[in-house]
Amino acid sequence: MGMGKLKETPLDSDRDKSQMRTPEVELDFTKNALASVLYRQGNTVVLACATKASSLPRWFPRDATRGWVNAEYSLMPGSTDSRFRRERQGAKGRTMEIERLIARSLRGVVNLDELGPLSLTVDCDILNADGGTRCASITAASIALRLAIRRLIRSGDCLPLESRLNELDDVQLTAEQMKTHEQNVMPHDVAAISVGLIGNDVYLDLDYVLDSNADVDMNVIMTSNGEFVEIQGTGEESTFSSEQLTRLIEMSKSGISKLHTFQSDLFKEI
């Protein structure tokens, strides 16, 4: 590995290298949203709200039978140690890149044909930032999206493709049929975690202190069936070997597995 970058903050972490910050959620934090999740991972706090638009995006065909899932992301002014200015003229470069990443991650686990002609948006607002905000947003957004889809199925707004193609009226799904349809619409969950290389040591779930000390940092997004959506890895004024890359990915997989278990256990109780 090449020369590391100058350290920005003293390295002082009370976690083991492989220890992830414990995720916590509060459902329906915002009552007006179709589904909302207040998600905490350490001191990083995200409010993810899923809403349904009144119509599909304007660029969709008029007779479209498939749906769309989009995402928006924002740092709240008080989320950082100095006030973060609102992006009133539209999303800037970093924000736009993160929004597209979250949206791609969500669409990676949704069958848009089974969803039907519905347009859903998941807004991820960072209430407090302490590293890993995009990763926490993806994990929180996945929870909010599944909860929204489950509610749309229960309300009769999201029906199986076969029922829509046959133009059946007054379709009443049984509990088992609802469960099957939910799995058809969203067969998998998606979650994300950050990992980093400090010296030759791999660290899981980077908070601000770890991130600012990392020679290499990486964001890994995976579905609950073990497939990758995206890997974003950067040498911060440094380089990394294929062996180190393998260790980074293996560490991320262990963390993401725990997040998927957390998501799965949460929905068993709802």
Q: pLDDT tens-digit profile of 133-170?
A: 999 999 999 999 999 999 999 999 999 887 776 666 67
Contact 135, 252 (CB under 8 A): no
Question: What separation in angstroms does the CA of 35 have from each of 24, 39, 145, 168?
Answer: 16, 13, 7, 27
pLDDT at position 2 is: 45
Of 203, 249, 225, 192, give the one whose Cα is nearest residue 41. 192
Q: Which residues have C-beta within 8 Å of that of residue 267, sequence separation ≥ 6?
A: 146, 147
Domains of the chain: 23-187+256-268 (3.30.230.70)
Q: pLDDT tens-digit profile of 25-34?
A: 999 999 999 9
Tokens representing 160?
Answer: 């199986």
pLDDT at position 10 is: 57
pLDDT along the chain (270 residues), means of 10: 49 82 97 97 97 94 92 89 78 87 98 96 96 97 98 93 72 91 98 96 96 95 98 90 97 98 93
Report CA torsion sign: 163, 168, 169, 172: negative
Distance CA 33, CA 25 (A): 16
> Where does residue 148 rank: exposed (0-12), middle (13-18), buried (19+ CB within 10 A)?
buried
Tokens representing 89?
Answer: 């003229």
